[in-house]
Structure 1
Amino acid sequence: MLNDIKVGIKLIGSIVIVALLATAIILYGAKVRHDYINKVDSVHRKYEAGILEIGNMKANLEKMRGDIYRYINVPADRQKMAQSINEIMSSVTKSMQTYKDGNIDAEEKKIIAEFDAAWPDMQRGYKAVMKAADEGKNDEVKSLLDAGNYVFAARVKTFAAISNLNSVSNNDADIKEAISKSAGFSGAMLIISGIAIAVIIGLVIVMTLSITQPLKKGVLMMEELKRGHLSRRLGIKRKDEIGLLANAMDEFAEHLQQNVISNMQQISEGNINIEPAIIDDSDEIGPALKKMVETIKNLVNEVNMLTGTAMDGKLDVRGNAGKFNGAYQDIVTGVNKTIDAMVGPINEASEALEKIAGKDMTARMMGAYQGDFAKIKESLNLAVENLDKALHQVAIGADQVASASVQVSTGGQSLSQGASEQASSLEEVSSSLQEMSSMTKQNALNAREAKGVADQARGSADKGVESMNRMSLAINQIKTSSDATAKIVKTIDEIAFQTNLLALNAAVEAARAGDAGKGFAVVAEEVRNLAMRSAEAAKNTANLIEEAVKNSDNGVHINAEVLKNFQEITERTNKVSQVVAEIAAASEQQDQGISQVNKAVEQMNQLTQQNAANAEESASAAQEMSSQSEEMRSMVAGFKLTASGDFNQNLRSGGPSGHRLQNTGMPGGSSGASGFQPDPRKVIPLDDRDHEVLETF
């Protein structure tokens, strides 16, 4: 039931209970004092002046004892207390002299002698105590009042002498009755004070434990949250502010574990078909997760659209980079630039091949490209240049065919053998190119997979940054709550201080009450000790709260460091994603280039085998070469070559080209060797259309 009461109500209730107990004790003590004074007054009125003087001395000594403690502890009243103490000293001395002048017996004289020996020492000691207090020598004050010091001994002897005189003088039944009643009142006061002290101590212990124990559990849970351990729960079933705070912390940890962390794990595993829960309009975690999932979905759809259209041969389609921000926008922009980089050289190569198909051998790729595109450009230009040179040589050879036809039959066998060797070499080259193509495709596949992993890592890092921002806000809120609790504990400490002052004032009043206030003075001292213990407990509680605040600050600093690390991970992941994208694009371009070269080698192999077959038949076709040479000249004249205008004009007019094969060592002046012996391995065929054009020769 106590745990369901608000902390403020419990604190106010405790203060009210303490105040009521203190009021009851004070009222009862006042009644005891009043009854005792009335009884003493009646006895004094009944008996002689000697007994009255003894009572006055005893009361004055008790009052002086209280005044000296008030003089020590209340500097503002020192002047007043000094005057009171001096007046009491004079009054006690005067009363003792009056008592001596009365009718006293031998026993009383002996007791008076003991008083006369101790009383001057007590006066001198009290004056020394007041002087030390004025000079701020608290240790000396304590030393003078401690047992074993001459001041303490003189005070004991003085009080003993007065008590002995009182015992000798008070033999009447009324006096004994007054003393008996006083003792009864004192016993009752002790019992009531003991009960009140027990209640106050129990109340303080219960209040302290009801605050410190759940706070310790909360500190332990915050330390677990700081380490990323989200499974710990407080499980405090209370309805006060501490219970509400504990329930809020449990719900916060549960939300982080069941919603935020679960969604982050699914996204890290590639599952983006999730719907993060949004608690209310002020929720920031849910909308952030939902926006992140939608952004990743849009990015995946955009990339899938680009890859699909590229696979369908629609290279004019581009991704909408304006739909994204930051690194996501860079990814779409990078894919667009990759497609642009691929389309440029492909279009120029297509235009060059169309010109070549139109028999324009001056066509070249002129664009500035890098990497595999530069290799494709060089290969195509080299192929066209070789073809141009070959046609040029064919034109020259056409002039020499007539004179070289005799040698064709002789060289046919050599040409056939060389073609066979070339075909074997081309088969080996084709096999190597196929292997290289397979490895290039695998590299491209691995690069795309690495890019996907890098994108997932970047997404996870972004989620980590958002989550750490939320956690930092929660820790700051907990720190604010701890500061508020510290203020409450400070209020408890101030109450303990006020209770201490009340106990001090009660001790002063007890001193004024004389013997009747002895018991009350003991109770006041106990209340003061209790107040000091309450202040100590409040101080310990404040230290615990301060430690909790420090831990919260430490959690904020560690959270900032983790947030910085997540940001660095995000930056490096973006860089890795860009590099992997470039590698993937380069691998795909390399695969395309190798595929084209592989096709060219296969065509060369087919052409070489065909040449070998033709070489075997060249002997029988030697007679036809002469008639075909003129036809060949006419065909070559239809091409636009890079040779000079005179050369092309000679081809069209049928005149000499300026280059002839020399016939040496052969009868009839025929050529002994041909000046044109092209190496088939250097002739790189282009595509099927170019192959068909060559076959028309």
Structure 2
Amino acid sequence: MKIKSLKHKIIFASLLVTTLVVAVVTSVMYLTQIKPLPQQVKQQLTNDMQVFMDSQIELKVQSGIIGATMLSQQPILIDALANNRQLPLRQVLANQQQHYASVTNFRGIFSEIYDANGQSLLRSWALDQQPAATPPNALITEVINTKTAQGALGFTDRGVTITAVTPVLNSQQQLMGLVSMLQGVGSISRDFDRIVGGNWIMLVDSEYVRARHGHTQAIDRLININPRYVVANNNWFTPETIQLTQSLFQATHGDKTNVYLNQGYLIVDLPAYDEAGQVMGRQLFIQDEQVFTHILSAAYQQVTVTIIGVILGILILAGILFGLILRLVIRPLEDLTTTMHKIDETGDFSIRVAVKSDDEVGQTAQAINHHLVKVSDAITQANTAIAAIAKGDLTTRIEGHYVGNLLELKTGVNASANNMQNIIEEIARALEQLNQGQFNFRTKVQAQGAFATILADTENAMSQLNLTMTDIGDVVKKMAAGQFNLSINRELQGQLKELKDDINLSLASLNEVIKDISRVMQAQSQGDLTQSVTQECQGDLATLKEAINQSLAQMTEVINEVLVSSKAVASAAEEVSHGSISLSDSVQQQAASVEQTSAAMTEIDATIKNNAEHSKTADHLQHQLETQSLQASNVMKQTIDSMAMIQQSSNQIHDIVSLIESIAFQTNLLALNAAVEAARAGEHGRGFAVVASEVRALAQKSAEAAKEITGLVTNSVNRINQGTEHATESAEIISKMHETINHVTDMLSDIANASMEQAQGVSEINQAIGLIDNVTQQNAALVEETAAAAESMKDQAQQLSQSVSFFKTHRIGTKRLN
């Protein structure tokens, strides 16, 4: 059966996808979470046991290093190693062994002393025996090379031990020998039972012992677990633990780890490494198997709950997704289908699809609404454009952006409106040019049918009118160029013919008047003022005629009067010119005398001003010198005060240094006491002994530094006292200089004031003579200007008389006057 409903398709697909997802998630979680759980729990137990064992061994190594370090810093030991003396070394080890026996409950702590080459010299467990010569192991070699304390688990003649080795260094940091401290590991079994719960036992690989040490009695005394492995020490572990190990142990060799269940017990088997990093045996952690099963059950339960939660989450998520798809996709699509059916039935494009979201479904609804808006808008604009054309409005267009059939509709309507608008605009343009007096109209529109006929008739009418106006324009241009014997000859009809006749008549009348005026103007240019305009005319031409005739009459009268006056002016100007020349000579002599006097006074004034300025400058410099000497005196006083304060500070520094010496001495005593108490504390006081030694060294260095500072401060105080005496003498000398400078300053001030008063008086005299000189110079200039003006007026009067004699009038005739 074929599914047609989108809802049913989504339901079927959701169920199928959910089933596949649940199956895949369950399989993946089983493979990644459940199946690896046993191995993960074993690895976790292995890591926990390894961390516990490493921390226990490290704790014992550090305590051994502290004990060995305390022993290595004893002066008796250092001196005995330097001088190769056995007796002091034996005494040190004996006292050390007694000390540990008295202050601790541990009886398995032993010490051993080596020379600088790593050869054993003495052992605390065999003080009366000389150790056999053996090559140093990896731990001893590392300490010799690095000169630093080291520790590690290993197998020695005493069996399995944790050995800590410390270098013995003299004051020059030279290696004198080595001190080692050996500890057992039996306490680790007790600590494991107390902290974690269960049994811990260490096994030694007999093959490892034979390969490293050969046959040794130490391993022969140990209890066998199997043919290859023995217990590390018969006394460290309880008989029950040893028997349990014999029954449970599954042999594992090399650096492999093993975690297994056997007879109701959990066994974690880890390799044990020696100081060289080689596997020397096994470490077994034996606990109840519930430790493993409890962790595994809890992990299984947690993973099961996680899987169930994930499956429920997937089912809930699938239900939510189906509900969201139903609400956000299916229902909006059903609403969209209903709306489109309604538009199809009613033809109403104003109906819109409801948009309820911004997702793809909402965007689909928005796209459909946008399409409906374009269709509705195109139909509305087409109706509007056609209605506007019917009312005579040719500017309305369909403006929307359309494609397809809507674009064809828009193009057709707009093209029709454009053609009609272009024809009407061409006719309007022709009328506008006619209204503006432009007759060269040419159509730019390619029209067809009736529109083409209308445009052709309009263009012919404008062409005929343009030719007529061109003829009139040519005539007017020639009139503007001074040609008046013209006429319009084109054949015209109607009002244009009447216009042509009126223009030709006006041109003929104007030509006669212009000829008469030209005759009068030519006579006037030749000096003949007796001619006048006689041609009969009307209007503005008659006014022009009367104006020209009156102008000629007035000009004739003026010329006659100018001829009479020019003679009188020429005579008077000649007399003024002679008087001005005489006055100018006298004024020039007076101006020269005043100018010489002014120059002499200017030089005297400059000399006096220069002396006054020098006096003023000297007085100013003297005041500056007085101020500077006073400042020098004050600075010297401040210097003396500062040196006194420095001397006081030096004394205070001396007191502080004395206090530092006292503190260093007391610190040294306290460090000695702390070293004694640390030695008494034994193993626990080893760290305090090292710190006390460092503090004592710092106290000694502080005392030495304090002595050096005391010497430097004493020298500084002596030098400051000498500087203070020299500064006091300098202050007295500067004070005497200051008194002498004050006396000189008063004398220079009096000289400067007198010079300033003298300069001011001479300056006033110089200014008065300067004013007289300026007035005299101005008078001389005015006299010269007057003489020049009189001479010029005389020449102009003669020129005027000659120019006016050019004209011929009714009263005087053509006689010239000089």
Give me the TM-score of the superposition, normalised by structure 2: 0.21
User: Higher helix fraction: Structure 1 or Structure 2?
Assistant: 1
Give me the TM-score of the superposition, normalised by structure 1: 0.24
User: Does 1 or 2 have the higher relative contact order (CA < 8 Å, sep 6+)?
Assistant: 1
